[in-house]
Amino acid sequence: MSYYLEYGNKKAKCIELKINPKVPFPKIVQSITRIGIAGCSKAELIHYAVLELVSNSVRSHSEKNVQENIHVILSIQEEKLTVNVEDRGGGFNPAVLPYDITFDPDSIDVNSETFQKYREHHNYSRFGMGLLSAKRTFPELKIQFVTQKGVVTSWSEAVIGTYISGELYLK
């Protein structure tokens, strides 16, 4: 089977979106859900996971008053879909998540006391589900961080953004 992306009437192996963080979120949803993935039965789950990642980026840009675009790239090579989301929203320390992102996502209890404390601490404005949803959708999920010198693999005070890459075999 031949896999490819569709946007409107165009077919492509790669689609890049530059998302202005000031655009109303329903317009962002519309742009992302317009991307078709020919031959893929998981397109809706992929859209949801990408939207969760973009939502995190939009929120961090808003909180830090960052005007730069959020970059989203979807690409297909043979049977593998790769999604990249890069922002300049200041990054985050994975140690503050209510779970260890390196764990098997199916072993994480979203109703645990740790999750409840996380939600309470953030006045129920954050639920800790965005990255977890992406991890469940993309078995190969890598979280990296953007600094002035480039992309690094660990969080530090020098981080100015986040670079998340997810891979999924469509077959």
Note the pLDDT of residue 144: 97
Residue 27's Cα: distance from chain center in Å? 17
pLDDT in tens, 19-65: 999 999 999 999 999 999 999 999 999 999 999 999 999 999 999 99
In angstroms, the CA 29 to CA 25 distance is: 6
- 27 by DSSP, 3-state: which? helix
**Residues above pLDDT 90, as percent of the chain:** 77
Task: Measure the CA angle with vertex 76, ends 74 and 79; round to 5°.
Answer: 140
Element at 72 (helix H, strand E): strand 70-77
- 71 by DSSP, 3-state: which? strand
Kindly report the backbone phi and psi dihedral angles of residue 7, in degrees, each rounded to the nearest multiple of 5, phi listed first.
-145, 110
Q: What pTM does this model have? A: 0.93
Across the chain, what does the average pLDDT equal?
Answer: 94
**How far, CA to CA in Å, does 73 sit from each of 16, 85, 114?**
4, 7, 33
pLDDT in tens, 61-120: 999 999 999 999 999 999 999 999 999 999 999 988 888 888 899 998 988 898 888 888
Residue entry with tokens 């109703």: 111
